[in-house]
């Protein structure tokens, strides 16, 4: 390879892995966190619906 090009690529190619890793890690962790929170929200909403039904059923009938 042309030594000048080799000199240019000597900083570009080895650093690519670190740059890609930095961006991918940030986006991947953010995505996982969003999925975790949204799933947690859905699960908690379902639990609330079941518990509210149980609370209503446990109350003595009025009148």
Distance CA 30, CA 4 (A): 40
Answer positive or negative: Cα dihedral of 13, 15, 18, 21.
negative
Choose among 2, 24, 25: nearest CA to 10.
Answer: 2
Q: Is 55 an interacting residue with respect to another protein (CB under 8 A)?
A: yes
**In angstroms, how far is the first alpha carbon of the chain from the final one?**
93
* Contact set for another protein, span 1-40 (CB under 8 A): 2-5, 7-8, 10-12, 14-16, 18-19, 21-23, 25-27, 29-30, 33-34, 37-38, 40
Judged by beta carbon, residue 58 or residue 62, the one nearer another protein is 58
Q: Given the rule CB under 8 A, which residues bind another protein?
A: 2-5, 7-8, 10-12, 14-16, 18-19, 21-23, 25-27, 29-30, 33-34, 37-38, 40-41, 44-45, 47-48, 51-52, 54-55, 58
């Amino acid at each position: 390879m042309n030594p000048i090009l080799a000199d240019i690529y000597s900083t570009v190619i080895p650093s690519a892995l670190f740059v890609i890793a930095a961006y991918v890690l940030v986006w991947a962790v953010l995505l996982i966190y969003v999925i975790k929170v949204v799933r947690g929200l859905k699960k908690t909403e379902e639990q609330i619906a079941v518990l509210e039904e149980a609370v209503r059923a446990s109350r003595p009938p009025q009148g």
